[in-house]
Amino acid sequence: MRRYTTENTRDIILISHSGTGKTSLGEAMLFNAKATTRLGKVLEGNSVLDFEPEEQKRQSSVFSALHNFKWKNTGVLLVDTPGDTNFFSEVILCLKSIDNAVFVIDAIDSIKPHTETLWRMATEEGLCRICFINKMDRERADFDQVISDISEIFEIKPLPLTLPIGKEDAFKGVVDVLKQKAFIFEKDGSGKFQEADIPADMSDRLAEVYNKVIEDLAEVDDVLMEKYLEGGKLTQDELTAALKTGVAKGEFLPVFAGSATLNMGVAPLMDFISSSLLSPKDRDIPSLTDSEGKTKDLRADEDEVFSGYVFKTMSDPYTGKLSIIRCLSGTLNPDSTIFNSSRGIKERIGSILLLEGKSQSPLEQVGPGDIFAVAKLKETKTGETLFGESSKFTFEQPSFPEPILNMAVSPKAKGDEDKILPSFQKLMEEDPVLKVYRDEQTGEFILSGLGQLHIEITVDRLKRRFGVEVELKTPKVPYKETITATAEVQGKHKKQTGGHGQYGHAWIKVEPLERSQGFEFVNSIVGGVIPRTYIPAVEKGVIEAMQEGPLAGYPVVDVKVTLYDGSYHDVDSSELAFKIAGSLAFKKAMEECKPILLEPIMDITIIVPEDCMGDVMGDLNSRRGKIEGMNSRGKYQELKAQVPQAEILTYASELTSITSARGTFSLSFSRYDPVPYNLQEKIVEEARAAKDGK
């Protein structure tokens, strides 16, 4: 039997930028519902949602965490997500699997750019959205400013359903706008409250807000609007129905106020989640597609075939690999066989587990809306689609941001070289953004992530889980070399050592190509002066010589090589001789073709507060950056620029310093450009010194 029916199930995600109190709000909900016996606190290290060692050490969420509670006959599945952009992938995957989003907004700092990004994503995914304005007990808390920002930045009508009574030290409770009742909370974290009279100094404001809320609710339905305009009073049932309809359509944003750490104002939010947020049946399941572009629709009914989406993979010290799955349709029992339609394979399921922080408990059956874990699926990975029967249809795979920070990693202990890639591979299964690879040009192992913290957490986990310690250092820049002039040269390899000798002779013309054109080889031999069988050997010799340019040993690109003349010997010529001749000719040509260094240029998009724009632009100019354009985003500015990769290898930490952690950026490769001559000399000297072992 299932724990709750589909109609009585609610999935919610706590979402926003870092530091708003999402985890504290989740802890308060769990405590109020008696799912936990004490109010967990992040700063005291006893939160049931932040249980990983890395989270407790940093007193901040790093991974998404799942728990559940029962509130007024409704089963609520809660997902707490990290707000730091370093762990963005955790949120992206959860948004694909949850029906309702609770945006937790800091009453002091209001809406930051990352929350704006998350808002757009939740909107695109069709999530039902509500808001909790947190930290009303803190200095400089400003409820009205957040309400104004919601209207301006989120571009949606805020619908205040509770108003704070007092603020900062004087914050003591909330007024329920629709019930027109005041609730005074204990400040001991117990969540206990007493009903009280509306404070006299709030009467006028309450009347104003109440009338506006009623008007917004009446607009949801033509019949209600007609009744409202005729002076009729809307009943509580009509208001509740209008609330549910309006929030489902995204016509307004219900807003609640409170303090999560003091457990004040949380209960009214929980009442609303239970009564008015969407059940799995209230949302359409995204269409599935197959390789031919055909689509398939499913309903969130128990009668349908089972379908599920793997939105997270994690490792448990006792059960091993865990696949976290959202059931979209049908039911699933333990000891079943499922079909992974993303891979076309069958997987065997043993126990079905309910996750409650770091604890697990078995489930007898799951159905639409349930989120559960399965251990030791052999081949299934994050983002894949599961069915109860063979199918060729899959759900859309999520897209992830590109890593913005690369670090070279090397093992501290000899003999750990062979452990690095397999250990990182397991971490990459859990984190789709993380990338580890060996740079073919520099020979370094490169660890790529979304920022310094992302990299540091990954290295900590590598040590804790696999016993592999690595050192981090700034990676080498993958410079390349090219030419700026044309030359015609010959390469001749002639060697006589008794018996058969070696003879290869080739004339080539080397000329520059347009940037990013790579390499072009043209065979212009006529009359058989070089036999056809030896021509590929000349090309191989040229390609081999291109791996190390004459300036600093970097690969050569963007050249055209034309083989137009040469000679051969009936006895002494061979493929090897012509390969050597081609290599010699190219090396000689490079000396005459005025070689230069090329460096990778990156496109960068930076989002910073307006008051930081001058410092950020000045810093970019010092890094040889070129500003491409600017866009206003509320209190923030979006800056687009191009900057050499060599200048931003450690930009993540430096932007954090400039903006006091309020700035974010994204990177993508643009092209290769010539290095300025004054810098080229220094780079060449350093490369040659490194090669000589100095």
CATH number of the domain where residue 558 is located: 3.30.230.10
- Pairing assessment for the beta strands 385-387 and 336-340 based on DSSP bridges: antiparallel
- Tens of pLDDT along 27-55? 999 999 999 999 999 988 899 999 888 88
- Tens of pLDDT along 311-343? 999 877 677 789 999 999 999 999 999 999 999
Beta bridge partners of 259: 264
| 3 assigned to some structural domain | no
Task: Write the CATH number for 92.
Answer: 3.40.50.300
Do 432 and 490 fall within a single domain?
no
| 316 assigned to some structural domain | yes
Burial of 337 (0-12, 13-18, 19+ CB in 10 A): exposed
**Per-chain mean pLDDT for the chain:** 91
Given a cut of 60, whether residue 1 has pLDDT beyond it is yes
Whether 313 contacts 90, CB under 8 Å: no
Whether 521 contacts 597, CB under 8 Å: no
Helix (H) or strand (E) holding 466, with range, is helix 452-466
Cα–Cα distance for residue pair 43/65, rounded to 1 Å: 17
pLDDT (0 to 100) of residue 623: 94
| 171 assigned to some structural domain | yes
Task: Write the CATH number for 627.
Answer: 3.30.70.240
Do 164 and 265 fall within a single domain?
yes
Cα–Cα distance for residue pair 419/596, rounded to 1 Å: 39
CB-based burial, 357-383: b 16+ in 10 Å, e otherwise: beebeebebbbbbbbbbbbebeebbbb
| 53 assigned to some structural domain | yes
Q: What is the mean pLDDT of residues 612-629?
A: 93
Q: What is the mean pLDDT of residues 356-375?
A: 94
Domain end call among 282, 300, 324:
282
- Tens of pLDDT along 57-102? 888 999 999 999 999 999 999 999 999 888 888 899 899 899 999 9
Band the pLDDT of 499: cuts 50, 70, 90: low
Total structural domains within the chain: 5
Cα–Cα distance for residue pair 411/438, rounded to 1 Å: 14
Band the pLDDT of 201: cuts 50, 70, 90: very high
Helix (H) or strand (E) holding 507, with range, is strand 502-512
Do 607 and 531 fall within a single domain?
no
Do 325 and 244 fall within a single domain?
no
Do 119 and 54 fall within a single domain?
yes
Question: 456 is in which domain, residue-wise?
Answer: 405-473
Do 335 and 366 fall within a single domain?
yes
| 364 assigned to some structural domain | yes
Task: Write the CATH number for 452.
Answer: 3.30.70.870
Band the pLDDT of 496: cuts 50, 70, 90: confident
| 399 assigned to some structural domain | no
Q: What is the DSSP letter of 91?
A: H
Domain end call among 434, 457, 473:
473
Do 156 and 104 fall within a single domain?
yes
Return the closest-CA partner of residue 16 out of 71, 95, 60, 81. 81
Band the pLDDT of 609: cuts 50, 70, 90: confident
Task: Write the CATH number for 328.
Answer: 2.40.30.10
Domain end call among 594, 621, 637:
594
Do 493 and 637 fall within a single domain?
no
Do 25 and 167 fall within a single domain?
yes
Do 225 and 272 fall within a single domain?
yes
Amino acid (one-letter) located at 623: R
pLDDT (0 to 100) of residue 221: 86
Do 374 and 469 fall within a single domain?
no
Cα–Cα distance for residue pair 181/491, rounded to 1 Å: 94
Residue 151 has which token pair? 């209207």
| Most confident among 218-232, 358-372, 448-462, 659-673 (mean pLDDT) | 358-372
Q: What is the mean pLDDT of residues 308-312?
A: 92
Contacting residues for 566 by C-beta, under 8 A, at least 6 apart: 490, 504, 505, 506, 507, 525, 529, 530, 538, 581
Q: What is the mean pLDDT of residues 383-406?
A: 88
Q: What is the mean pLDDT of residues 651-660?
A: 85
pLDDT (0 to 100) of residue 693: 63
Beta bridge partners of 508: 489, 563
Given a cut of 60, whether residue 208 has pLDDT beyond it is yes
At residue 652, the 3 state secondary structure works out as helix
Given a cut of 60, whether residue 694 has pLDDT beyond it is no
| 398 assigned to some structural domain | no
pLDDT (0 to 100) of residue 425: 87
- Percent pLDDT > 70 in the chain is 99
| 651 assigned to some structural domain | yes
Do 504 and 456 fall within a single domain?
no
